[in-house]
């Protein structure tokens, strides 16, 4: 490969090298203004290295032919898209997938997405998004795996493996792009594109692990974040891209900007003009410019003026060409561009079945008083709410080439299962998804929103009358899909007012009340948790969301998901997360001069790791086979946790293991997730779950950013969520 690349680079002009660093936006899925034109001519001139937004064989093949057959050197293009949770078959949003606590399931969905994306001519995806976030107001939490670095790292590695496999040259391998490097999940105020500021100690101990895991798994590319890191925009941050990513972590792939971040270096105030922005980005280690065309327009001149190092340009170009070589594009630039095979690989029965399985395993049963769920077929059931029949919202934001009209709604799935008459199932709209005129106007066109001709009070009254004849009421409420995702931040993350008013009207009927949620973020649900009988969090569940909901609601499948982000009681608590520090005066319920709110408890409404099912489990206290680990010896101890299914139904429980370092050279969290096991336990059965704790699990970054474990006392805490834990103690000794 190196000999081939050496020869190719020796024949390239400076302008052609910069062409490989130029990523143009065209086609269907653009996340900002179109900043380029005359795409065909630029490709023929060797001034384009990659394209974002063009997919399907009919769209991709002509562009690749321009590059390979009509440019001077015939260098193939990369074709990219945001394949975030599926290409045509859409899986649950990533936050929902993470709630499965099943990295292997996540890997399988990424593998299926890669197969469909490559069938449509793509060879590069802007995924996984691995930003740790404790900020539910931020719309992009729907793209990530939540608040925990350990689980986030496992999911990041699984997605890279699913996309890339072990050989990028395989026909169905898709180049992964880890985003957003780095720290983008911690914007002030929960607003997209806002300032991020934190210490390096916090970066290393709490935020960087998923990026490092994705790099270790072999991710071929990394995308810079919009935000600054230590006062320097990520795209121009030499410490971030050269010292941390390349030197410390050994990353050998290429770095691409996010959409338009080169001109935004100027907006940040870190460059005076486009020349300074271009120089700072390339010198810092950014390789490819998405959409702004700063590199291709100004780069060659800046090299000739001595402001840019030619060696940096060569290194960046080599990294991009290496990815193309590894993908097999020099050997066959038209791989996956056969019109006859593409339809055989998308929306296939096995992928639709996987979408249904993933949706089921992503759902989280938050509350279930008096065994309201599962429903039974003989009941008279009213389904109400604006999301019962809507298809567009099922597939959520960042749904790539997904056709929302192929998504199966809950109403359609109910009618498929029970027929449209004589089943005891009735429907009522109940309310509009959004009533607020200003908010409705923002979302109407993109979300295909409609408002009923009936007044809101009339819709509620009709639903309440229908509820009077029902045995149980199921309200399907939440967000329109465009209420989460990029640039979709919310200051109020409760249900829209008219939806809560519907619930209040239904509550007055006295009928058992089930709330099914479709949404892209944790919501504030304190009134709902106190007043409805059951709450099922379905997220935006994807193409097969309706059938999966029927499976869970009627007990053909039991919910097994667990939250990966805490649900706050009130926005005033944010950020609220399980792995916080103790502080000098930790919370005491009856203490005055302690770290507490006067008006709400400190703890979240639903904690990290929470999730119920249709049976009951009792977890015993952890027992240790010894009480000390000897440092440096390769020693370990085992933790045994008995799990008893005390209910009448077989079920799956996720047993979670947390560790607390009681005293260290820098303050440590009150608990950190270190391991978990999903176990299937039959009714009445007791199983013992065994964990192994090694010295490696006790390591952290100290004040000098050395990764080590310090001798001392530790607590091991086990349970079914981060709040209900039992404890044992051990020591690390010299």
Model confidence over 50-66: pLDDT tens digits? 999 999 999 999 999 99
Determine contact, residues 157/216, Cβ cutoff 8 Å.
yes
Q: Is 10 exposed, middle or buried (0-12, 13-18, 19+ CB in 10 A)?
A: exposed
Q: Is the pLDDT of residue 30 over 90?
A: no
Show the 3-state SS of 190-256. HCCCCCCCCCHHHHHHHHCHHHHHHHHCCCCEEEECCCEECCEEHHHCHHHHHHHHHHHCCCCCEEE
Determine contact, residues 130/152, Cβ cutoff 8 Å.
yes
Cβ-Cβ contacts under 8 Å for 366 (sequence gap 6 or more): 525, 529, 535, 536, 537, 567, 606, 610, 611, 612
Query: How many C-beta atoms surround the C-beta of residue 712 within 10 A?
Result: 14
**pLDDT for position 265:** 98
Determine contact, residues 550/410, Cβ cutoff 8 Å.
yes
Lowest model confidence (mean pLDDT) among 28-37, 137-146, 484-493, 689-698: 28-37
Determine contact, residues 662/619, Cβ cutoff 8 Å.
no
Q: Which of 670, 673, 708 is nearest to 691 (CA)?
A: 673
Cβ-Cβ contacts under 8 Å for 396 (sequence gap 6 or more): 85, 90, 92, 93, 142, 481, 484, 485, 520, 539, 540, 542
Segment 567-572 shows an average pLDDT of 98
**What would you report as the CA-atom Rg of the chain, rounded to the nearest whole angstrom?**
26
- Residue range 295-313, pLDDT digits in tens: 999 999 999 999 999 999 9
688: β partners = 642
Which amino acids are annotated catalytic?
258
Q: Is the pLDDT of residue 36 over 70?
A: no
Distance in angstroms (rounded) separating the CA atoms of residues 289 and 263: 10
Distance in angstroms (rounded) separating the CA atoms of residues 503 and 483: 20
- Residue range 632-652, pLDDT digits in tens: 999 999 999 999 999 999 999
Map tokens 């000794």 to a residue.
733
Q: Is the pLDDT of residue 32 over 50?
A: no
Whether the upstream peptide bond of residue 182 has omega within 30° of 0, thus cis, is yes
Distance in angstroms (rounded) separating the CA atoms of residues 264 and 292: 10
Determine contact, residues 389/425, Cβ cutoff 8 Å.
no
Is residue 26 very low, low, confident or very high in pLDDT (cuts 50, 70, 90)? Answer: confident
Determine contact, residues 210/197, Cβ cutoff 8 Å.
no
Segment 490-500 shows an average pLDDT of 97
- Residue range 149-165, pLDDT digits in tens: 999 999 999 999 999 99
Q: Is the pLDDT of residue 35 over 60?
A: no
Show the 3-state SS of 536-556. EECCCCCCCHHHHHHHHHCCC
- Residue range 251-265, pLDDT digits in tens: 999 999 999 999 999
- Coil, helix or strand for 79? strand
Domains of the chain: 348-565 (3.40.50.1700), 617-733 (2.60.40.10)
Q: Which two tokens stand for residue 558?
A: 């039991």
Burial 285-324 (b: 16+ CB within 10 A, else e): bbbbbbbbbbbbebbbebbeeeebeeebbeebbbbbbbbb
Determine contact, residues 23/288, Cβ cutoff 8 Å.
yes
Distance in angstroms (rounded) separating the CA atoms of residues 235 and 587: 40
- Mean pLDDT for all residues in the chain: 96
Query: Taking the C-alpha atoms of 245, 249, 253 and 257 in order, what is their torsion angle to the nearest 10 degrees?
Result: -20
Q: Whole-structure pTM over 0.85, yes or no?
A: yes
* Residues recorded for the chain: 734
Distance in angstroms (rounded) separating the CA atoms of residues 718 and 368: 23
Distance in angstroms (rounded) separating the CA atoms of residues 428 and 434: 16
Distance in angstroms (rounded) separating the CA atoms of residues 627 and 728: 9
Whether the upstream peptide bond of residue 166 has omega within 30° of 0, thus cis, is no
Map tokens 């590199």 to a residue.
295
Q: Which two tokens stand for residue 610?
A: 């929470």
Q: Is the pLDDT of residue 27 over 70?
A: no
Distance in angstroms (rounded) separating the CA atoms of residues 407 and 627: 54
Q: Is the pLDDT of residue 148 over 90?
A: yes
Map tokens 């109910």 to a residue.
414
In this prediction, what percent of the chain has a pLDDT beyond 70? 98
- Coil, helix or strand for 349? helix
Distance in angstroms (rounded) separating the CA atoms of residues 384 and 374: 17
**pLDDT for position 428:** 98
Segment 363-388 shows an average pLDDT of 97
51: β partners = 24, 79
Q: Which of 671, 725, 710 is nearest to 147 (CA)?
A: 671
**pLDDT for position 34:** 42
**pLDDT for position 31:** 42
Segment 211-219 shows an average pLDDT of 98
Strands 725-733 and 628-630: parallel
Q: Which of 72, 56, 63, 59 is nearest to 23 (CA)?
A: 63
Distance in angstroms (rounded) separating the CA atoms of residues 695 and 707: 12
Q: Which two tokens stand for residue 61?
A: 């093949």
**pLDDT for position 421:** 60
Distance in angstroms (rounded) separating the CA atoms of residues 154 and 145: 10
Cα four-point dihedral sign 110, 115, 117, 118: positive
Cβ-Cβ contacts under 8 Å for 423 (sequence gap 6 or more): 377, 414
DSSP string, 436-484: -HHHHHHHHHHHT----SS-HHHHHHHHHHHHHT-SEEEEEEE--GGGS
End-to-end CA distance of the chain: 48
Is residue 590 very low, low, confident or very high in pLDDT (cuts 50, 70, 90)? Answer: confident
**pLDDT for position 37:** 58
Show the 3-state SS of 636-684. EEEEEEEEEECCCCCEEEEEEEEEEECCCCCCCECCEEEEEEEEEECCC
- Coil, helix or strand for 33? coil
Determine contact, residues 382/429, Cβ cutoff 8 Å.
no
Q: Is the pLDDT of residue 250 over 60?
A: yes
DSSP string, 281-341: HHHHT--BEESS-HHHHHHHHHHHTTSS-HHHHHHHHHHHHHHHHHTTTTT-TTTT--TTT
Distance in angstroms (rounded) separating the CA atoms of residues 672 and 716: 10
Segment 530-548 shows an average pLDDT of 98
Q: Is 229 exposed, middle or buried (0-12, 13-18, 19+ CB in 10 A)?
A: buried
């Amino acid at each position: 490969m190196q000999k081939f690349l050496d020869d190719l680079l020796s024949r390239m002009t400076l302008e052609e090298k910069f062409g490989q660093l130029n990523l143009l936006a065209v086609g269907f899925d653009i996340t900002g203004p179109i900043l380029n034109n005359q795409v065909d001519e630029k490709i023929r001139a060797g001034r384009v290295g990659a394209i974002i937004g063009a997919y399907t064989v009919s769209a991709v093949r002509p562009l690749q032919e321009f590059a390979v057959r009509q440019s001077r050197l015939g260098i193939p293009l990369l074709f990219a898209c945001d394949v975030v949770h599926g290409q045509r078959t859409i899986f649950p949003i990533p936050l929902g997938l993470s709630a499965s606590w099943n990295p292997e399931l996540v890997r399988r969905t990424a593998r299926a997405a890669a197969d469909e994306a490559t069938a449509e001519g793509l060879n590069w995806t802007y995924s996984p998004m691995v930003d740790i976030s404790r900020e539910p107001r931020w719309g992009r939490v729907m793209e990530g795996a939540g608040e925990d670095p350990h689980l986030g790292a496992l999911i990041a590695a699984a997605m890279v493996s699913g996309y890339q496999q072990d050989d990028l040259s395989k026909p169905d391998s898709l180049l992964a792009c880890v985003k957003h490097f780095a720290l983008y999940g911690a914007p002030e105020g929960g607003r997209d594109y806002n300032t991020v500021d934190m210490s390096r100690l916090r970066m290393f101990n709490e935020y960087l692990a998923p990026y490092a895991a994705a790099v270790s798994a072999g991710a071929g590319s990394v995308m810079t974040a919009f935000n600054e890191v230590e006062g320097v925009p990520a795209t121009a941050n030499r410490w971030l891209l050269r010292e941390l990513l390349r030197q410390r972590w050994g990353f050998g792939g290429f770095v691409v900007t996010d959409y338009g971040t080169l001109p935004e270096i100027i907006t940040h105030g870190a460059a005076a003009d486009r020349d300074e922005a271009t120089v700072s980005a390339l010198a810092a280690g950014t390789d490819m410019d998405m959409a702004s065309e700063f590199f291709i327009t100004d780069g060659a001149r800046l090299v000739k003026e001595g402001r840019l190092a030619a060696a940096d340009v060569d290194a960046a170009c080599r990294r991009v060409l290496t990815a193309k070589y590894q993908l097999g594009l020099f050997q066959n630039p038209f791989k996956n561009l056969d019109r006859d095979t593409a339809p055989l690989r998308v929306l296939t029965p096995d992928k639709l079945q996987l979408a249904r399985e993933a949706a089921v395993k992503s759902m989280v049963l938050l509350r279930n008083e008096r065994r309201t769920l599962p429903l039974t077929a003989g009941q008279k059931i009213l389904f109400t709410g604006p999301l019962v029949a809507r298809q567009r919202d099922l597939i959520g934001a960042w749904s790539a080439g997904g056709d929302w009209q192929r998504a199966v709604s809950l109403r359609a799935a109910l009618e498929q299962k029970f027929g449209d008459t004589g089943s005891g199932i009735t429907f009522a709209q109940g309310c509009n998804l959004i009533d607020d005129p200003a908010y409705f106007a923002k979302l109407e066109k993109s979300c295909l929103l409609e408002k009923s001709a009936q007044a809101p009070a009339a819709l509620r009254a009709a639903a309440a009358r229908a509820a009077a004849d029902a045995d149980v009421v199921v309200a399907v409420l939440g967000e329109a899909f465009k209420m989460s995702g990029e640039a979709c931040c919310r200051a109020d993350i409760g249900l829209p007012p008219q939806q809560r008013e519907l619930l209040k009207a239904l509550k007055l009927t006295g009928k058992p009340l089930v709330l099914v949620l479709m949404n892209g973020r944790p919501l504030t649900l304190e009134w709902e948790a106190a007043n409805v009988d059951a709450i099922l969090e379905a997220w935006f569940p994807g193409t097969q969301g309706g059938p999966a909901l029927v499976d869970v609601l009627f007990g053909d499948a039991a919910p097994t998901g667990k939250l990966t982000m805490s649900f706050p009681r009130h926005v005033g608590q944010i950020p609220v997360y399980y792995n916080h520090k103790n502080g000098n005066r930790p919370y005491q319920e009856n203490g005055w001069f302690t770290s507490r709110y006067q008006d709400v408890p400190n703890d979240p409404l639903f904690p990290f790791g929470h999730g119920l099912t249709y049976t009951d489990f009792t977890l015993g206290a952890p027992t240790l086979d010894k009480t000390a680990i000897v440092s440096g010896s390769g020693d370990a101890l085992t933790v045994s946790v008995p799990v008893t299914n005390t209910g009448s139904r077989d079920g799956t429980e996720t047993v979670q293991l947390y560790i607390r370092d009681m005293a260290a050279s820098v303050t440590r969290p009150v608990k950190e997730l270190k391991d978990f096991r999903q176990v299937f336990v039959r009714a009445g059965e007791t199983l013992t779950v065994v964990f192994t704790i090694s010295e490696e699990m006790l390591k952290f970054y100290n004040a000098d950013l050395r990764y080590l474990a310090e001798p001392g006392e530790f607590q091991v805490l086990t349970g079914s969520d981060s709040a209900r834990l039992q404890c044992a103690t051990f020591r690390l000794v010299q």
